[in-house]
Every structure is written in C-alpha cells, then in structure tokens.
Chains A and B, each alone.
Chain A
Amino acid sequence: MSRTSRAAVRVTTVIGAAAALAACTSTAPPSGGDAAGGGPIAVTAADASCDVAAAEAPAGKITFSVRNTGSKITEFYLYGTGDRIMGEVENIGPGLTRDLIVEVPDGGSYTTACKPGMVGDGIRAPFTVTGSATRSVDENTRLAEATTGYHRWVTSQIEALVPKTQEFVDAVKAGDVETAKALFPVARTYWERIEPVAESFGDIDPKIDGREDDERDAGVQFTGYHRLEKDLWVDGLQADSPAMADQLMADIRDLQSRTATVELTPVQLANGAKELLDEVATGKITGEEDRYSHTDLWDFKANVEGSQGAVASLRPVIDEKDPTLGPVLDERFAAVDALLEEYRVGDGYRLYTELTDEDKRRMAEAVDALGEPVSQVAGVVTS
C-alpha cells in the first residue's frame, strides 16, 4: 500500500465497458478451430524447454496453442519492444492446453517466452511478424491501444490474483500455517503488480493492504494480507483468522468486479508506473511493508514488473515522441532485474532481514536510476 494519498488520481467508470473489454481478453478456452493465418501455432511448454512450432507469422490475429507438458504451472507471453506484453496466458497447469489469441498489427521483431513456475524472464525465443495489418495509426489510436493493452494486462493479473489468493485463504482456513506462509508472497505478487489500479478506488487498498498502525475510523478493523501475515508469523492463527481470510477474498473479488469497468488514461498509466517505484523506495527498500514475514523482495519485484507493464503499454507512444527515452528505460529496468536476480533463492528471494546495508544501498541506487526516466513518461506521452 502506498503511504501517501492518491486522492488526486480519479477513475472514470464506464458503464458497458465490460462488454467491450470481453472481446480483448487475452485468454480463451482451448479451441481446435483455425485462426486466421493458417491455424494455431503449437507451443510445447516443458519445465526446461519452450518449443514454438513456428518462428514467424503474418501480421494480424495470431493464435498460439500452449500445452504444458511440464510439472510446474506455466505462463506464455508474446513480447514487443521493451518487453511490451502483446498478449499472455497465465496459470496453465500441468497437462493443460490454453490458447493465446493476440492481435499484432505491425510487422517486426517480437519475443516468445514460457515461464515454468511463473518466475524470471522465462525461456525466450525470437519471433518475427511479417507484413502489417493495415490500419490508420494516429496518436489517439496509439493512446487508446496503450490503455486497452494495459487494461488487458491488469485483467490477466487479477485472473491470477483471485485463484492464488483463494489458495492462500484456503490454507489459512485449514490451519495449514506452512502452506499459507509459502503462498503469502506468491499471491501478493499479482496484487503488488497492479496496486495503483486498486489504489485508484481509494477504499479497497486500505482493506486489502493496510498496516496495523494505520489510522482507521472507529470500529474499522485491521484486515487484509498484513493482518493474516501477522497471524501467521507473529501471533499464531487467531479465532477470527478464518473470517479475516474470507474478508480478504471478498475484497479481492470486489476489486476484480470494479476493475472490469475501470478506464484509465495514459497519464494515469504513467503515474501508476512511477508510483509503483515510489512504493519500492518507501516500502520495500525499507522493509516497512512485509514487516512480519520479511518477504519484501517479492513485492519489490512485483512492483517493478507492474511499473514495467504500464510503461510497456505506453511504449509505442513513447518511442514516437521521444526516441531516446525507451532505450534508457529498457536499460534501467534491466539493471533492477539483474540486481534482484542476485538475491534470488529458488523460486523466491532472500528475506529482508538477510540484507546488508550495502545491499539496501545498491537497491536504492538502482531504483533512483530507474525512477527518474519513469517519471518523465507522463510528460512525454502528453507532450
């Protein structure tokens, strides 16, 4: 949760937008039917390999049929420049097949990636899109594409957030402390990636991600992830822990339904990207946020991914208006990623309490270096 007021960020709720967005959703049930351009491209996603049957496709609608032959849950992505997510399918369990249908209007170099275990950069390969699907690309179109693309990404995150949080909640309710502890930072990953969207609703963020010492109106309880974190790590499960778990789940579902109708402006996207880095600087580098579990680096990584997701959506506009900014952003995001990789332990990260002052200094340095160019994005896209 951000420690500063986000009152300035206003959200336009558009009635009927849900229907329109349904058409953009990136995930679709498995289909054997032919997509335009000669049928789906088969992707075989194992734990250590990612076989994409074709390395090229014509511009337009491209379908990937992703089969998980491995033992871990996997994800499949198609990236554009600057890791702009063109489309993705998440949460493909072992043995399952899911389709990614993605609209790629411009020819050029892209990248496919499988992410077994849903971590890291994944197993990547170049992918070429040939020709171009003709359309007029004026500035408004690009900006609209940016917000639509970001909304699609946010939706995909919530689609993963809901079941992951459900697993966490179920573990809490079953009294399975060890499992709940293991799931806590994983479920939060999806939350921390999209937090500015939740913050834009004002009332949701404090309920889901508030801290024990936050000021509350009389009668309002300390609820959400951090309340359960405290139970799991400090106090032991309490009589009302199951009720707290149910409350968290209800709030997450509330977020899901409200997000479906939210419409964000490009400036809000840009500011969201910046705010996520502010969160890293004020909450994660300080160990303030996950003060009981010390899993702050999971959140750190997720905040950076969220920032990158928003920036990537705006990337075509950025490239058009200031061609020097994109490469700087790429490089600084990569530097933060590389730094975080040094702290990886298995599928997760070192605990905050294991970090030295020197570690924290390096993190602050990398976030400062990234925060400056990210703060320029709003001005550039509106210039």
Chain B
Amino acid sequence: MTGRLSRRRLLGWAGAGAAVAGAGAVTACSASLAPVAEGVVPFRGERQAGIVTPAQDRLHFVALDLTTDNRDRVRALLQKWTTAAERMTAGAETAPGGAVGGNPDGPPADTGEALGLPAAKLTLTFGVGPGFFDKLGLDPALRPAGLAELPRFTLDQLDPALSGGDLCIQACADDPQVAVHAVRNLVRMGFGTTTVRWSQLGFGRTSSTSTAQATPRNLFGFKDGTRNLKAEDGAELDQHVWVQPADGPPWLAGGTYLVARRIRMHIEIWDRTSLTEQETIIGRTKGEGAALGATGEFDPADFAAIGPDGQPRIGEVAHIRLASAEALNGVRILRRGYNFVDGSDGQGHLNAGLFFVAFMRDPHAQFVPMQRALANNDVMMEYIEHTGSAVFACPPGLTEGQYWAQPLLEA
C-alpha cells in the first residue's frame, strides 16, 4: 500500500481543482470509480464505447487468437479483462496498487507506464471473430451471418499475419501511451489463453464521428470522412450501424460489426502526382475539402453537375462518388480509421497508410459492395494496397456487473 499513485486520483481530485487534503479523502476516492471524471468515457452503457464516441487521437488495435477450446477458461479471461478494462478506462491501474503497491518480490500486476497519466478518454471496444465460434464449439445458431469471411477483392494483397483473429480489442485514447498500456496489460493477462495475431498502432484519426469534430486529413493530405455517419445521426445509426433484433442471434442485438483493413499507401508515388490529378481522383479539393464544383466542405456534392468540358464535374470514378450512398443504393458505414506509419520498408519508402476501421450493421450488405466498387474502379487503387483484413462482431454495451460477451458465452 506504499507509494501508490492512482491516475484516477490525480484526475478526479487534483485535476478537478480540489486539493487532496489527506489520506481520508484519498481512500474515499479510490474506493469507488464513480463519479465520472473529466477525460473519462463511461465503460458501461447501452453501446460499447469507442464506436460513436468522438474519435480520439490515437489507436492501438489488437487481434488475438484463442489457444484453448476451454470455454470456462475463456470466460474467466473475459471476466478478468472486463474488470481491468473498466478500471483502466477510468484512469486506474489494472488492479489496486498494481504497479508499485504489491509484493516487491513478484512482478507488478500493472506494467506501470500509465502511472500518473490521465484516462485520456481511453475506450476499449471488444469484438469476436469467426474463429471464436468454431474453437469454442459454440452452437452454430449463435454465429451471426455477418461474420462470414469477406470475399477477396480485386488487387487485395492480404498478408495472413496481418489478417483475421478470434477476438479483437480496439483501444482508443488521446494519449498513445495510455492506449498501448491498456493493450499490453490485456495481452499479458491473456497469455496461455490467447495469443496476439497482429496489432496496429494508429495516430491522427482519419475520420470524425461527431459533428463537434473538425474533419482530419489522411496521409494523402486530404480531409477524410466529411460525409461520415456521426454520433448525432440517431435513426441513421439504427439503420446503418446497430444490429437490430430481427437481424440475427439475440446476443448481438444492439451491437455492431467491425471491419478492419490495413491499407498501405504508396505515399512517394502520390506525392509525385499533380494537384489536379490528386483532386480528380478524390473528387474534392485538397485545401477546403469541398466536393468539386462546390465551395464549402459540407456543401452537398452534386454528382449530376457537368463541367465546362462536358464531362461530369465529379468524375465517374472519383473516390467520393464510388463510395457515396448515392452510388451504392443508400449504403453508409461509420468509419473510425487512423493513419499509421510503421517505420520504413527497407527500400527507402514509408511503410505507411490508413488503418481503416468501420462499424456497420451488416458487412456483406454495406462494406462488401462499397469495397467492391472501389477495388474495381477507383483510380486511387494505383496508390494503395490492402494488406490486412478482418471482421469482428461487437456485442452491445455492458450492463452493471456484466463481462465482455457474457450474453454470448452464457446463451
């Protein structure tokens, strides 16, 4: 109990301007994780956090495989994970006194690199992949149709070492150290039950999921996600993001699907492309982010407009047209991607791109037609390469006392 430093304590008391008067106040504070402090996104609720939560600055995404077929063991891990996740999203250590307050002869329960850091809006979002059902021998009726593997798209260069997974955890935070700490500690708890299949760090959110956020730019220098679904979209979210009770097994009702695609960008080639060409490929201006022919970023794109040369103002194969709801029978998705730079590739080029994460009600009705249209027609495909791919089902939010995926495991 000596030298214990709670991130939550710093945040909840010192951060709120109240003086930490003495041991009494500290004890009272560490005894409970409520009330919610600034910078803390509630862990429990109708939906999992980290989906329509305004996109944080940083990402650490991890896909894991089960190394056991023992359901009890998986249940025990999910319970352990949930407890630790709830604590960490509140800015606390994985266990009370976990970093430095334990037995000095043993390794600390918490790895400690987030000591003294605020919660930084950490969210941890959990999903299960197709293999989860097979490995645990779950009733096939529990497996939702949306979890069928994605088809191979034209030009896909998928690396199995960057694809798939039986489980996933998306950690988003405004501080990369907080996100990495969370994933690292969850992975550690999983040794013997899960193993990391792949993981991805991301920075510079490439989409806004709230109207309160400015539209960010991707590594091509363009604003990304101007027409994205947003937290404020209410009914639209029910239509496009949240799985409805009639859609499939009850455990997923109110949940959603997560599609992840690691998209390597050939930055150096793009950078040698003229501005006009870049804008033509995208269908928007680079500066303002306005659809070609419009002035403001949020001015509606006029896909029918004809330019002075008699051709459509926004080209037939412009990225925003191919990906638009108008061209896809109303299909929309909620994007939550991040830029990544995994160093250089050994040939003098940035190993960089977009880690595309999107949430939707049905990947096969939404992501598949959209990606197919892009893969087959988008000129941008000359500058990018899809190197990783995965699909997960994310259960709805947790009620008090519930652990991740409890309704599925106890169905």
Contacts and interface: CB of A to CB of B under 8 A. Distances in A.
A interacts with B:
yes
Interface of A: 267, 270, 328, 332, 365, 368-373, 375-376, 378-383
B105 A378 contact: yes
Contacts of A270: 105
Contact of A372 (B67, B102, B103, B192): B192
B106 A380 contact: yes
Contact of B188 (A365, A372, A378): A372
21 contacts: A267-B105, A270-B105, A365-B67, A369-B191, A369-B192, A369-B193, A370-B192, A372-B191, A372-B192, A373-B192, A375-B106, A375-B107, A376-B106, A376-B107, A378-B105, A378-B106, A379-B103, A379-B106, A382-B103, A382-B106, A383-B106
Contacts of B377: none
B195 interface: yes
A365 B103 contact: no
Interface in B104-118: 105-107
B94 to A, nearest CB: 14
Contacts of A383: 103, 106
Contacts of B106: 375-376, 378-380, 382-383
A368 B195 contact: yes
Nearest to B188: A372
A306 B191 CA distance: 21
Contacts of B191: 368-369, 371-372
Nearest to A267: B105
Interface string B173-188: 0000000000000001
Interface in B147-177: none
A378 B106 CA distance: 5
B232 to A, nearest CB: 43
Nearest to B195: A365
Q: Which 10 A-B pairs have the closest CB atoms?
A: A379-B106, A369-B192, A382-B105, A372-B191, A379-B103, A365-B195, A368-B191, A378-B105, A375-B107, A369-B191
Contacts of A378: 105-107
B322 to A, nearest CB: 37
Nearest to A361: B195
A273 B102 CA distance: 21
B105 A369 contact: no
Contacts of A379: 102-103, 105-107
Which of A365, A375, A383 has most chain B Cβ within 10 Å? A365
Contacts of A372: 188, 191-192
Judged by DSSP, the binding face of B is loop
Contacts of B107: 375-376, 378-379
Interface in B180-221: 188, 191-193, 195
Which of A332, A369, A370, A381 has most chain B Cβ within 10 Å? A369
A370 B67 CA distance: 13
Interface residues of B, number: 11
A382 B191 CA distance: 23
Interface of B: 67, 102-103, 105-107, 188, 191-193, 195
Contact of A369 (B67, B102, B103): B67
A123 to B, nearest CB: 30
Contacts of A380: 106
A328 B102 CA distance: 21
Contacts of A382: 103, 105-106
B198 to A, nearest CB: 12
Nearest to A377: B106
Contacts of B188: 372
A111 B102 CA distance: 37
Contact of A332 (B102, B105, B192): B192
Contacts of A376: 106-107
A350 to B, nearest CB: 22
A372 B67 CA distance: 15
B112 to A, nearest CB: 15
Contacts of A371: 191
A371 B105 CA distance: 16
A380 B103 CA distance: 9
Nearest to A270: B105
A382 B106 CA distance: 8
A132 to B, nearest CB: 31
A317 B270 CA distance: 64
B165 to A, nearest CB: 14
Nearest to B187: A368
Given A369-B195, A378-B105, A382-B106, 6 more contacts: A270-B105, A332-B192, A369-B192, A372-B188, A375-B106, A382-B103
B167 to A, nearest CB: 15
A375 B102 CA distance: 14
B80 to A, nearest CB: 12
A368 B195 CA distance: 9
A380 B102 CA distance: 11
A160 B103 CA distance: 37
B390 to A, nearest CB: 18
A267 to B, nearest CB: 5
A380 B106 CA distance: 7
B224 to A, nearest CB: 34
A383 B191 CA distance: 23
A378 B103 CA distance: 9
Contacts of B105: 267, 270, 378-379, 381-382
B69 to A, nearest CB: 13
A373 B107 CA distance: 10
A273 B51 CA distance: 43
A322 to B, nearest CB: 11
A365 to B, nearest CB: 5
A329 to B, nearest CB: 11
A212 to B, nearest CB: 27
Contacts of A381: 105
B79 to A, nearest CB: 14
Contacts of B102: 379
A104 B67 CA distance: 38
A146 to B, nearest CB: 15
B65 to A, nearest CB: 9
A196 B67 CA distance: 30
Contacts of A332: 192
A267 B106 CA distance: 9
A293 B103 CA distance: 42
A379 B101 CA distance: 13
A381 B105 CA distance: 9
A379 B103 CA distance: 6
A368 B196 CA distance: 11
A285 B29 CA distance: 46
B199 to A, nearest CB: 14
Nearest to B106: A379
A362 to B, nearest CB: 9
